Amino acid sequence: MKPKVLVTRRIFPEVVERLRQHFDVEYNEADRLWSPQALAERLREKDGVFLTPTERVDVALLDACPRLKVVANMAVGYNHIDVAACTARGVLCTNTPDVLTETTADFGFALVLAAARRVTEAERFLREGRWQTWSVHMMMGREVHGTTLGILGMGRIGQAIARRAALGFGMRVLYHNRSRLPEAVEAQYGARYVDKDTLLREADHVIVVVPYSPQTHHLIGAAELALMRPTATLTNIARGGVVDDAALAQALRDGRIAAAALDVFEGEPRVHPHLLQVPNVVLTPHIASATETTRRAMAELAADNLIAGLGCGPQAGRPPTPLNPEVLSSTAAGEGRAGS
Ligand code: DGY
């Protein structure tokens, strides 16, 4: 009998077809959002799940689904998955790094430009029929080229943004990260490692690219915003909750910083009502990796992980991007449930 898997959102037909070659697939083609209870109900008899950041994997779900062996996440971020609880139960978790790095960096840079140059604000102005004539002072923004970019979180996406900033826009790059990068990597972007406060004080544009965790919750709040230059911009493409959205709305309203751009929000898809009221913030609905090419690559990689994680296909037992590879060695030793 084929293993049973659940695909929780609408993806790409050819990826579903590939999964069907190995599995008995239940597919949410209607793309309805399920409550945690509905998800648990559908997952109860399944061996694996292909899911996205809209589904939460927590202790309650894991306890309700004792057959579950593999959680294949179609995203690089995985704060919606309790990986430690999965590991404790021998459940393999995987994500989709690398394939979205450049696309996400493009979008991050687009948001830095949009905030600095008031792109969406200017478009609203035009669409609302308020543009009467060209004028010297109309919609003046902030320079991007030749200024200083501060990157909080210098992983793969942070480095791809640094490359665009240094090589494409002649920017000085400051970064702060859990650990300092090797000198040779810093040299590629002329990037200088600084503490968080120095970065906030010196950068003309700050971009946040750290994963969400209890340690990064409200990494940028009122105190941090108060350190920034009144002419600076802040961009968040990381996860909602890394920036305190209420404090940011207040800082924008008070002119504490010049502008912001957000692709992710605390409690999304809800957006803090005060953010919707301030003109100097660019708001996009969590689309940094959303190009057809990249979303397909993410889906294919998540499928590769699910197939290999459940012991099928040419890479059986060797999923390409595991988050808790220790599960693989313990299940190979017959201790847990992944792939068994
Ligand atoms: C990711 O891959 O983490 C993106 O934010 C899409 O959710």
**Rounded distance between C-alpha atoms, residue 32 and residue 28, angstroms:** 7
Q: Which of 9, 268, 289, 298 to mutate to test the pocket of ligand 1 (most atoms within 8 A of CB)?
A: 289
In the chain, what percentage of residues exceed pLDDT 70? 97
Quote the pLDDT of residue 77.
Answer: 98
**Rounded distance between C-alpha atoms, residue 192 and residue 79, angstroms:** 28
Domain positions in the chain are 4-97+292-335, 101-283
CA–centroid distance, residue 213 to ligand 1 (Å): 15
pLDDT tens for 9-39 read 999 999 999 999 999 999 999 999 999 999 9
Is it the case that residue 154 has pLDDT exceeding 80? yes
Quote the pLDDT of residue 336.
Answer: 58
Region 204-232: mean pLDDT is: 98
Quote the pLDDT of residue 330.
Answer: 79
- Catalytic residue numbers? 239, 268, 286
Of ligand 1's listed atoms, the one at least distance from the Cα of 264 is 5
CA–centroid distance, residue 96 to ligand 1 (Å): 9
Region 232-258: mean pLDDT is: 98
Tokens describing residue 215: 């340690």
Is it the case that residue 340 has pLDDT exceeding 80? no
DSSP 89-115: TT-EEE---STTHHHHHHHHHHHHHHH
Our CA dihedral for 327, 63, 84, 32, rounded to 10 degrees, sits at 100
CA–centroid distance, residue 173 to ligand 1 (Å): 24
**Rounded distance between C-alpha atoms, residue 158 and residue 29, angstroms:** 34
Strand partners, 176: 152
pLDDT tens for 89-114 read 999 999 999 999 999 999 999 999 99
Fold matches, 4-97+292-335 and 101-283: yes
- Kindly report the protein residue whose alpha carbon is nearest to atom 1 of ligand 1: 75
Q: How confident is the model at residue 333 (pLDDT cuts 50, 70, 90)?
A: low
pLDDT tens for 41-66 read 999 999 999 999 999 999 999 999 99
CA–centroid distance, residue 16 to ligand 1 (Å): 20
CATH number for the domain running over 4-97+292-335: 3.40.50.720
Region 176-202: mean pLDDT is: 97
Rg (CA), the chain: 22
Region 246-272: mean pLDDT is: 98
Distances (CA, A) of 216 to 11, 80, 162, 243: 30, 15, 21, 9
CATH superfamily of domain region 101-283: NAD(P)-binding Rossmann-like Domain (3.40.50.720)
Region 263-274: mean pLDDT is: 98
Give counts: helices (H), strands (E), the chain.
Answer: 15, 12
* Residues 283/275, Cβ–Cβ less than 8 Å: yes
- Kindly report the protein residue whose alpha carbon is nearest to atom 2 of ligand 1: 75
- Kindly report the protein residue whose alpha carbon is nearest to atom 6 of ligand 1: 75
